Structures are given as structure tokens and as C-alpha cells.
Structure 1
Amino acid sequence: MIKSIANRVAVMENGKVVEEGDVYDIFANPKEEITKKFINSSSSLSNITKLIENKTIIPRDSKLVKLTFTRDSVGSATISKISREYNVDVNIMLANVDVVNADALGGIIASIEGNKDDIQDAINYLHASNVKVEVIHNA
């Protein structure tokens, strides 16, 4: 709800403001651990933990990553590009797009499979394309 009605947000912990700023910036790049936990709890992407624990998803011979696409990276064919140019297979497990103050904020949980160096080159390309990459599991 806050994503659609507010322009600014403050995050409090133990009665003190620990993080504040533009709603989009806070959701796209949370800095404090409590903010990260709050944002993860409000996203369907957090279901990946349950899927791994229940062995519904068993990452083998791949990197399981969380990709965050902000207004600077959403809308480009980044996943297709890394598959073609870096010879990696990308398997999208979960995906979500939020609209925060009329801007898209996308998230993908995916496994990237292939040669170790090709995977790293693909991740480097994602970083260079303004995609935030968080490795969840490294097989």
C-alpha cells in the first residue's frame, strides 16, 4: 500500500529512524537489514526460501540469483542477451513486478547454468546493465 500512496518513507527500529528517503529508492535499494527484511516479506519472491527448504527447487550446478530491475534497467532484453552472448541457460523460478510511484520495479529469482567463467561474465554484464544481482545459492 505504501508503494502506491506515499512519496517518502521512514523505517523505524526501536523507536529510531534507521532509514528514510524516496519510496522507490528505499524499495529498490534498501540499506538497513530491517528494511531488507520488511521488503522481502512483502514480496512473493521471498517464497524461494520455502521452495528450497521443501526441496521443490534444488539448485544444482548453477548459481541461484535474485535480480532486481530498477527504472534504469527494466524493459530491456537483458535475460535473452546473457543467454545468447555468454552461453548460459537462465531458468526463471519466480518473478514479480511492482509499480512504485508510477515506475516499474522488477524482481526475478533465476538459476544461471553454464561454464563458471561464462556465468561470472553474465553476472558482470548484469551489473553493468544496472541490474542488482544477489547470489542466493552457489552450487
Structure 2
Amino acid sequence: MTHSKLSIRPARQSDLAALISLYGDDDIGVTREATEPDAAYQSAFDAIQADPNQILVVGEQDSKIVATLLLSFLPGLSRHGAWRAQIEAMRVSGSLRGQGIGKSLLDWSVAKAGNRGCALVQLTSDRRRTDAHRFYERAGFEPTHFGYKLSLETP
């Protein structure tokens, strides 16, 4: 099947439902995400849109949202005051994985990070996402650190 070229653009308010759908489009996300936008998603979206160090983008093919990621720019004192770009919540529609969409998003992110003067691009991935890990390593990312999280949500 041939698909049109991926178009990457900033997310808009009208994209919120499609973004939430992408976040829940796998075995892990389906257990964490709501099925439609609510006040919490709206508040987070508004905060991201208001922060110049956050870029929430969507990938479109044939006028349909098929991918997303959040690119954050983080200042730091280590590495001689280096800035980092952090990729979060990268998702590609389950039916379209393996077709180069994720690679296009990563390439876009790395280029954007370079243009902003970042010294490195980093990301985290749930340890259960083994296919994603292989994908990131093929794209040149290296598993250099352990990551830890502490949930502050009440059950």
C-alpha cells in the first residue's frame, strides 16, 4: 500500500481527541488513557501550548493524524551548560507502524534540536516496548542510562 508523504505540524486544539486516541493505541496505553478529552487533558494541552520550550506536533497523511510526539527543550548546568531535547509520548498509529513514519518524526526532532543548539537528544521508553527499543537503536539512540519514576497518583 502506498501512502502520501508525512506532514509534520504543530498540534491544534482540534487535534486533542486524535492525540488521546493515539496515546491509547497499544496494550500499554489502553490501560492508562481515557477514551476522550477531559479537563485534565485540556489543562495539559494549554500548558504545553503556552510554553516556548515545548513543541507538541502531529504527523498527518492524507489529512489524517497518524502520529505525534512532544519535544521539550531543557536547560542544564551539566555538560558545560548544555541544552537537551527530550522526546516524549511518541506514538504512531498501530496500523501504520513499520512504514517510516516514526523515523520521519525522529529525524524532524533531531533536526529541530540541532537548530535550537541542543547538545543531545534523549528519550525514555517503557521497558515493555521492546519493538520501540529496537527502532530507537536502529535510529542511532543508545541505551546509556537507567530511568526511574515515582508515581504520585493515588490509586
Q: TM-score, normalised to structure 1's length?
A: 0.28
Give the structure, 1 or 2, with the largest relative contact order (CA under 8 Å, sep 6 or more).
Answer: 1
TM-score, structure 2 as length reference? 0.26
Q: Of Structure 1 and Structure 2, which has the larger fraction of its residues in strand?
A: 1
